[in-house]
Amino acid sequence: MAEQAGDISFLQFTNVKKTYDHKNLVVKDFNLDVAQGEFITLLGPSGSGKTTCLMMLAGFEDVTSGEILINGRSVTSIAPYARNIGMVFQQYALFPHMTIRENLAYPLKIRKQPKAQIRAKVDEYLALVELQDFGNRYPGQLSGGQRQRVALARALIFAPDIVLMDEPLGALDKKLREQMQFEIKRLHEQLGFTVIYVTHDQTEALTMSDRIAVFNNGIVQQCAPPHVLYERPANLFVADFIGESNKLKGVIASVADDTVSVRLDDGAQVSTLRANCSEIGLPTTVSVRPEKLTFTDRLGSAGNQVKARFITRHYVGEYIRYHFQTADGTELVVKNLNDSSAPQLSAQDEVALAWLPQDSQALDRQDVPTTL
């Protein structure tokens, strides 16, 4: 993994804003420092501003205000071709009338590199993406995964400062998509290039990234390493968008350092970590992941407890999803490994569900940004 951003300010977005109609901001105030060699993912729903930020960095969209710097130099007014940035698109963007070798040679030819050097580079990158036997084929003769590897090699072959990837795996099926995730990470770790990656796929972002910037409504809600986003979401939008979250509504009853006591709407009182709310009497939502919920006979008296009635279960292979409902109508999901510990329940069975205080957070119910 690269050094944390801030140690080396290789790429900087400073107070970047973007509007198309001079009235509504698509990107409202984007600030980000990226370390050289870091893999940063811009994640969010459609229309949240992530692709617009990528296009401004590439030079395909103008910056309304603010500044983008690479290696300390502003590129805001520099033409796209002069920014030394590689791009990988969802639809490959390969030249169909050129062979794979010719596609890879193209960015080197337009940079007027010597023919012998071009041949050597093309051989090197064909081997790097394990397509050395496919150089004389045309893109239409390759599978989707092979074409995406060619597109990746072409984006890397001229040694760009930064590689931008805009939903590069969106056209692939699930199995091939997972294979390409590991392929991209292998090349990233081997070559050490800086990546700005755009996706709306949470699992993809969690699997590949050093840090993830979660966008919504033109604003970055949180930028952090994957485990921090998942375990300690900054607000309800992040808790909901990254993975799955059970949400229990209540009111803050007391505050002690980093923990709060919450009186839930069904009358139960629970202890949880404090996130972005701390005032006694304010409404809050306790967020707890489905895999953190369990049955009280396994946790004893160590954790929080709520009573709920069993509704149904769904078999998902390696785990089973149990669906419950509390007395006030709150729906809860428990993920349990599909092994001998999986409980056998009948409809309407009442059980006590439990979790440890450190496995949940109290989040401000009023601080919920809306999607576009």
* Model pLDDT for residues 172-227, shown as the tens digit of each residue: 888 888 888 998 999 999 999 999 999 988 999 999 999 999 999 889 999 999 99
Helix, strand or coil, per DSSP, at residue 130: coil
Domain limits, the chain: 11-236, 245-364
Rounded to 10°, the helix 115-128/100-109 angle is 130
Tens digits of per-residue pLDDT, 251-305? Answer: 999 998 889 999 999 889 999 998 887 789 999 999 999 999 998 766 566 689 9
Report the pLDDT averaged over residues 319-339.
93
63 pLDDT higher than 50: yes
Q: CB atoms < 10 A from the CB of 177, how many?
A: 19
What secondary structure does DSSP assign to 270-299, as a single string?
A: EEEEESS---TT-EEEEEE-GGG-EEHHHH
Residue 147 contacts residue 183 (beta carbons within 8 Å): no
**Which of 39-48, 53-62, 68-77, 361-370 is predicted with the least confidence, judged by mean pLDDT?**
361-370
Domain 11-236 top-level CATH class: alpha beta
How high is the mean pLDDT of the chain? 90
Give CB contacts under 8 A, 24+ apart, made by 129-136.
Answer: 129/153, 129/183, 129/187, 131/100, 134/100, 135/99, 135/100, 135/101, 136/99, 136/100, 136/101
**47 Cβ contact list (under 8 Å, min separation 6):** 371, 372
pLDDT computed for residue 367 by the predictor: 54
**Which of 5-14, 236-245, 316-325 is predicted with the least confidence, judged by mean pLDDT?**
5-14
Give 174's DSSP letter. Answer: H
Q: What is the rounded CA–CA span in Å between residue 182 and residue 180?
A: 5
Q: What is the rounded CA–CA span in Å between residue 39 and residue 212?
A: 9
Rounded to 10°, the helix 100-109/144-156 angle is 20
pLDDT computed for residue 62 by the predictor: 95
Tens digits of per-residue pLDDT, 150-165? Answer: 999 999 999 999 999 9
Domain 245-364 top-level CATH class: mainly beta
Report the pLDDT averaged over residues 317-335.
94
Residue carrying structure tokens 């069904």: 266
Give 242's DSSP letter. Answer: S
Q: What percent of the chain has pLDDT over 90?
A: 72
pLDDT computed for residue 298 by the predictor: 61
Residue 34 contacts residue 12 (beta carbons within 8 Å): yes
Tens digits of per-residue pLDDT, 79-123? Answer: 998 999 999 987 778 999 999 999 999 999 999 999 999 999 999
